[in-house]
Chains A and B, each alone.
Chain A
Amino acid sequence: MNRSQEHALVWLFLMPLGAAIGGGLLVGLVYVEGPSLRRTLIFTLFAVWTGLFWLWILLQQKKRRKNKVTFDERDEIIHKKAALAGYVGVWLYFVTACVVPWWLVGPQGTVSVNILPIILIGGIIAFSIVQSLAILIQYGRSGKNGENLTQKIE
């Protein structure tokens, strides 16, 4: 298993879990306590700091692997295809998420405002799952050392 596969596998479980827990906490808090500017600011600061923490880890990893070649042409093609698959997956999910409530309650009906962040969190989860699965499937298809895909590229 190479580094991209490991990342995809970790991403497949970690990202949906993180998005579901973080988003669930936010939705629950606003639902129970009501909207508040102070809490919104605290949440934004927390999200920014968490983002910077991940960025710091990424930069550290990059520094360590400065002179090593870990990403070749084949990996790049696989990642591009996976990102495109994720993008298509998000659109399909989004169509479903917008049409199904209409179909269930009718156009004159109302839905809780909580559905908006839930749709957003669902989109993040859908993208991570589709992208990670696309990476794993493509590496699985290309064999242990990627012979089939390399032949296709040639």
Chain B
Amino acid sequence: MSRLQKAAWFNLAMITICIIISIPCIFFLARENAKGIEYLLTCFVMACLVSPVAYVLLKKKSFETGFDEREKMINRRAFTISALCLIIFLACVCTIPFFVLGGQNVIKVYYLPLIFFCSIFTAQFAHSTAILIQCTLEEEDGQ
């Protein structure tokens, strides 16, 4: 298994774990009626602390540093596919409820962060799956 494939599996596992943890947290916050600037500041401070630590621990070098030309090409193609999937997902998730419910209806506000987390998951899932499928196809062609 190449480094790119390992990275794809790792990213897929990490995003799945993050989503599994995040969605119950959103429902918990919704049940507790978490509202106000203090929650927003807490999230901001946590993001400021976690992001640099995660960056230092998980991404010491650039993502593409150890990849050869073929892997770089696969990664770029996967990124394009992921961006396309994200656009299609967002277009569907934003327009379908609008046309189904009609403009004068309302939705619960906690659907918005849920849509956001689902978008992250969709983008990462499409990226990792595209990498794994391309690697498998190329290996089959090589054999």
Contact = CB atoms under 8 A, between A and B. Distances in A.
Given A87-B83, A120-B91, A108 B102 contact: no
B113 interface: yes
Interface residues of A, number: 32
B97 interface: yes
B109 A109 contact: yes
Contacts, number: 105
A34 B91 contact: no
B35 A103 contact: yes
B35 to A, nearest CB: 4
Given A99-B40, A107-B35, A119-B94, A34 B29 contact: no
A27 to B, nearest CB: 6
Contacts of B113: 98-99, 102
B104 A110 contact: no
A114 B103 contact: yes
A129 B83 CA distance: 18
Contacts of B100: 35
A119 B91 CA distance: 10
B67 interface: no
B interface bracket (residues with beta carbon within 8 Å of A) = 35 or more
Interface string B99-125: 111111111111011011001000000
A117 B104 contact: no
Chain A interface main SS type = helix
B110 A113 contact: no
B99 A107 contact: no
B33 interface: yes
14 contacts: A31-B103, A35-B101, A103-B36, A105-B109, A107-B30, A108-B33, A112-B106, A112-B107, A113-B101, A113-B106, A113-B107, A119-B112, A120-B90, A123-B90
Interface of A: 27, 30-32, 34-35, 40, 87, 94-95, 97-99, 101-103, 105-117, 119-120, 123
Given A27-B103, A35-B98, 9 more contacts: A99-B40, A101-B112, A103-B37, A103-B39, A106-B33, A110-B108, A111-B106, A117-B95, A117-B98
The list of the 9 closest CB pairs from A to B, nearest first, reads A31-B103, A106-B35, A107-B30, A110-B106, A120-B94, A30-B103, A116-B94, A98-B116, A98-B112
